[in-house]
Structure 1
Amino acid sequence: MHGDQKQAGGNDMQRLKFIDRMSQGKLSRRDMLTKASAFGVGMLTLPSLPKAADVLTCLEWAGYDDPSYFKSFSDRNGTPNFSIFTGEEDALAKVLAGFSADVMHPCNYSVNRFVNAKVAAEIDVTKLSNWKDVFPALQTADGVVMDGKVVMAPTDWGNASIAYRPDLVDEDFKKNESWGIFYDDKYAGKVAMLDSELCITFGLMLDGMSYKEAAWATGDKLKAAADKWGRKCTANSRFLWTDPTEVNQALASGEIVAAYAWNDTVKNLTDQGIPVAYARPKEGFFTWYCGLTLLNSGKADKALAYDFIDAWLSPETGKTLIEGSGLGHSNTKSFELADKQAVAKMGFTDPIQHMKDGTLFIQVSDQVQTEYNKVWGDTKALMQ
């Protein structure tokens, strides 16, 4: 066979391999579009693809835009666009102001805000191949299902507490772990609170209220708590954080000695050999679960949104989440796939028992949340 015949034969073989991989969904959209013309494959031969402008847009927490959490999606469709939010209320405000997003990552205590605002769409779970492996109790949990409809596909779950440096706090705090550390002048400038109305909620709990009572506080009671506790918490915080990376770095350097934090902060620092403890505050040790919600403001093909959600629900993503952050995942098979030592270090493998062991953050009415948002915003403005 002459050289040019060999080359032609090789090209034909590569072309057939390309078409085969394309038909099996093993190529990203970008690869398909780039290689199609090179192999003489017409656009009509390509599988049904969204238009070039139909790139998925996600409203997401800082850190969750890491490609390892949705690898199977990116392999097929390329990298989505991300808009990072500081909290669910920030994300909701963006959507209501006209921001076009396809998927959002709320938590159990905030889903109702998106549903009530009519920006969340029902999720057809028959389009999710990994739904069958989601913990049954999470499939029907409050915030996942509302009015008989699935409005959030649960993905991650964990704790909210105080991460602190045991080598830098005093013995009294270690013996009496409390949310009061954020209001103690002894630690002024040495703590970091989340940029959240929880600054006020925790203060009400220090006044003797239960968490549920504090979360539903309104009127003069709420304003008084903001004046007494909200200002103190804000003034004592070296910074009000929105990105966990900021907290990790500050705790690691000793710039702060304690912070509101999730499980990943504890894992990241202990993996670096930095002494850090995770408090069980006497007023309450909090738990949560979050997930992905379809938004009706998006412009991308809905198939892309479902593919992204399904990628997040995969056991491979769960393995990454468990081993990388110490957080729980909704897919039961994640715990079989993940490193056994990493699972053991988590201390929990059952989301329902996990919720029972802590105080679950709850949903409140739109009216109460709106009032809390305003009071918290006013509190921060007064401290600037």
Structure 2
Amino acid sequence: MKIAQTSARTLLAITTAISVALPAFANAAELNILTWEGYADASFISKFEAASGCKTNSTYVGSNDDFAPKLAAGGGVYDIIVPSIDTIGLMRQADFVDPIDTSKIEGWADVYPEFSAANDVAVDGETWSVPLVWGSISLMYRPDKVDPKPDSIGALFDPKYKGKVSMWDDKSSIYWAARLLGFENVYDLTDEQLATVQAKLIEQKPLIRKYWATAGELTELYANQEVWLSNTWTGLQSKEINNLKKGFEVVEFTPKEKAEGWMDSMQLVKGSPNVDCAYKFFSFMLSADGQCGIVGSTGYFPVNPKAVAGCLKGEEAEAKKVNNIEFVKSLVMWQMPARLDKYLEVWNAVKAAQ
């Protein structure tokens, strides 16, 4: 994979915002984390706080597109952010984060090298993020409502499900439409291809009940029987929906166009005064308590197979792809788009279309 380059216009807009409103930081021994639902569950974060003496405060995002505006606007107090692999490069290019000293992180050597040495994680001999958890984005549906059994992204665009479809409110919707249309390099689409994708997504809009922003929102849409078919964060929302026992179940599947793959990693916000606590947090999240904890709360896959040897065994380890790095290679792994500003422009145009 090549390292995508964000346009000068995008970076200029971000860095200008930084100069206007730099965030204030919390007191020492207190970590403020901008992360995802389930990534700071009390069931395991409490162990970190007790062992380290560092208090944590977590704010949740619904999309990778949230990180840059929140940091640039100074709308919160953050020491650690947890963006996905297609966004960490932008955080570095915009000068939001500091490089990572991996010698201070216990468990670093046990992380899958496919992640610890991935593009944008490692750049020019420096490390810019700490891999945390990974997984895929698949499709999900109600088998009692969707017939025949779907096997393609095309199900999300089928007119017979008008008003019962939901898509993630994220620029990755462009990737889904692009793959359905047969475009191969979905992270570097031409203007003509992007125009075709935009038209396809606007054509889909009458089918959309709502673009979902958080895991909880999609769960509610299914629970209230407003949605029958969607994309989903594999392993998380299906578990939550089925646990509600609403008289129906949802099923996930990998479309014939393949599933997307992602990896979320931790980054140190530039100038944080809580570096000691941050490195303790990095080490904890790569430990058995951290990796088993986040896998248990989200259903996602661990980045440190050695750390989960005690909590994931047999079929459960197989389901979480422990030591199955070949699965990563079967996915369409996220990258930062070569023209991020253009992709965001297209996605915003889709949402604004009537």
TM-score (norm 2): 0.83
Question: 1:223 matched to which residue of 2?
Answer: 195
Whether contact under 8 Å (1:72, 1:311) holds in the other structure is: no
Q: Which amino acid is 1:238 matched to?
A: R
Shift in Å, 1:371 = 0.9
Stretch deviating more after TM superposition (113-122 or 312-321): 312-321
Whether contact under 8 Å (1:130, 1:314) holds in the other structure is: yes
Q: Hey, what's the Cα distance between the residues in 2 that align with 1:98 and 1:323?
A: 32
Whether contact under 8 Å (1:234, 1:240) holds in the other structure is: no
Note the 1:246-285 alignment, pairs <5 A.
Answer: 246-262=217-233, 263-270=235-242, 274-285=248-259
Q: Hey, what's the Cα distance between the residues in 1 that align with 2:99 and 2:328?
A: 25
- 1:226-260: CA deviations, max 9, x gaps? 1x222233432211111112222333443211121
Question: 2:83 matched to which residue of 1?
Answer: 106
Q: Hey, what's the Cα distance between the residues in 2 that align with 1:147 and 1:84?
A: 31
- 1:309-339: CA deviations, max 9, x gaps? 2221111122123333321111223331214
Residue 188 in 1 paired to residue 165 in 2?
no
Residue 378 in 1 paired to residue 325 in 2?
no
Structure 2 residue matching 1:215: 3-state secondary structure = coil
Shift in Å, 1:151 = 0.8
Note the 1:362-373 alignment, pairs <5 A.
Answer: 362-365=335-338, 368-373=339-344
Higher share of residues assigned helix? 1
**What residue ranges of structure 2 are gaps of 5+ in the alignment?**
1-24
Structure 2 residue matching 1:307: 3-state secondary structure = helix
Whether contact under 8 Å (1:151, 1:293) holds in the other structure is: yes
Whether contact under 8 Å (1:168, 1:257) holds in the other structure is: yes
Q: Hey, what's the Cα distance between the residues in 1 that align with 2:26 and 2:118?
A: 36
- 1:235-287: CA deviations, max 9, x gaps? 32211111112222333443211121112123334555653221121222122
- 1:153-211: CA deviations, max 9, x gaps? 1010111010111222011xx1x41112222221121111100123333222222212x
Residue 121 in 1 paired to residue 121 in 2?
no
Residue 353 in 1 paired to residue 326 in 2?
yes
Of structures 1 and 2, the one with the larger relative CO (CA 8 A, separation 6+) is 2
**What residue ranges of structure 1 are gaps of 5+ in the alignment?**
1-49
Q: Hey, what's the Cα distance between the residues in 1 that align with 2:158 and 2:26?
A: 56
Shift in Å, 1:362 = 2.0
Residue 316 in 1 paired to residue 293 in 2?
no
Q: Hey, what's the Cα distance between the residues in 2 that align with 1:344 and 1:332?
A: 9
Q: Hey, what's the Cα distance between the residues in 1 that align with 2:214 and 2:80?
A: 20
Question: 1:55 matched to which residue of 2?
Answer: 30
Distance 1:128 1:85, change over 3 A: same
Whether contact under 8 Å (2:29, 2:54) holds in the other structure is: no
Q: Hey, what's the Cα distance between the residues in 1 that align with 2:286 and 2:204?
A: 37
Note the 1:1-384 alignment, pairs <5 A.
Answer: 52=27, 55-75=30-50, 76-99=52-75, 100-171=77-148, 174=149, 176-210=150-184, 212=185, 214-226=186-198, 228-262=199-233, 263-270=235-242, 274-298=248-272, 300-340=273-313, 343-344=316-317, 346=319, 348-350=321-323, 352-365=325-338, 368-383=339-354
Distance 1:72 1:144, change over 3 A: farther
Shift in Å, 1:135 = 2.6
TM-score (norm 1): 0.77
Q: Which amino acid is 1:329 matched to?
A: P
Q: How many residues align?
A: 325
Structure 1 residue matching 2:30: 3-state secondary structure = coil
Q: Hey, what's the Cα distance between the residues in 2 that align with 1:159 and 1:364?
A: 18
Distance 1:125 1:378, change over 3 A: same
